[in-house]
């Protein structure tokens, strides 16, 4: 089952490439300007996430996909990396995978020369891990 954090990360990665989430059965779109702020997701992204989870938003889905966010949060789905572009994509546990990756309509993607979308990084924790590894190898 795709966890709520995995689905949230999936949307955060695609938001960073300019993909929108369609809400209210496609009548409105969401695309935060800033997804990551420091070691966490931005307030704007968190507001979008809450709006996506709200029952008032109706069916919500990532632009270029057929699976709703509510479906992805159900036990029938996992998240895997796309074989073409290494971005997260949903995979039904039983049945056929999606026909296309959401990157199918992004010109110039995958682009190995540009920074890839990422999750928030706690730099202090990351530096502590590096320090601990270096001390262990001493």
pLDDT digit string, tens, across residues 62-106:
999 989 999 999 988 999 988 888 899 998 888 776 777 888 788
At 1 the pLDDT is 61
User: In whole angstroms, what separates CA 25 from the centre of its chain?
Assistant: 20
- Report the share of the chain in percent with pLDDT over 70: 98
Radius of gyration of the CA atoms of the chain, in A:
17
Residue 3, both tokens: 């966890």
pLDDT score for 133? 87
- pLDDT number for residue 31: 97
Using the structure block, give the residue that is written with the tokens 């928030």.
120
User: Can you tell me the distance from the alpha carbon of 26 to that of 62, in angstroms, rounded to the nearest whole number?
Assistant: 10
Residue-averaged pLDDT of the chain: 88
Alpha carbon separation from 111 to 15, 36, 80, 84, 87 (Å, rounded): 16, 20, 19, 11, 12
Whole-model pTM? 0.81
CA atoms within 13 A on the CB side of 13: 22
């Amino acid at each position: 089952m795709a966890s709520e954090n995995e689905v949230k990360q999936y949307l955060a990665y695609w938001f960073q490439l300019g993909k929108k989430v369609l809400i209210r059965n496609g009548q409105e779109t969401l695309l935060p300007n800033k997804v990551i702020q420091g070691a966490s997701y931005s307030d704007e992204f968190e507001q979008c996430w809450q709006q996506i989870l709200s029952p008032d938003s109706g069916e919500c889905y990532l632009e270029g996909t057929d699976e709703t966010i509510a479906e992805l949060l159900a036990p029938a789905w996992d998240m895997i990396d796309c074989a073409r572009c290494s971005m997260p994509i949903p995979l039904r546990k039983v049945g056929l995978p999606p026909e296309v990756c959401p990157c199918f309509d992004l010109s110039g993607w995958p682009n190995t020369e540009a920074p890839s979308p990422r999750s928030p990084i706690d730099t202090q924790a990351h530096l502590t891990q590096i320090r601990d590894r270096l001390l262990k190898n001493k």
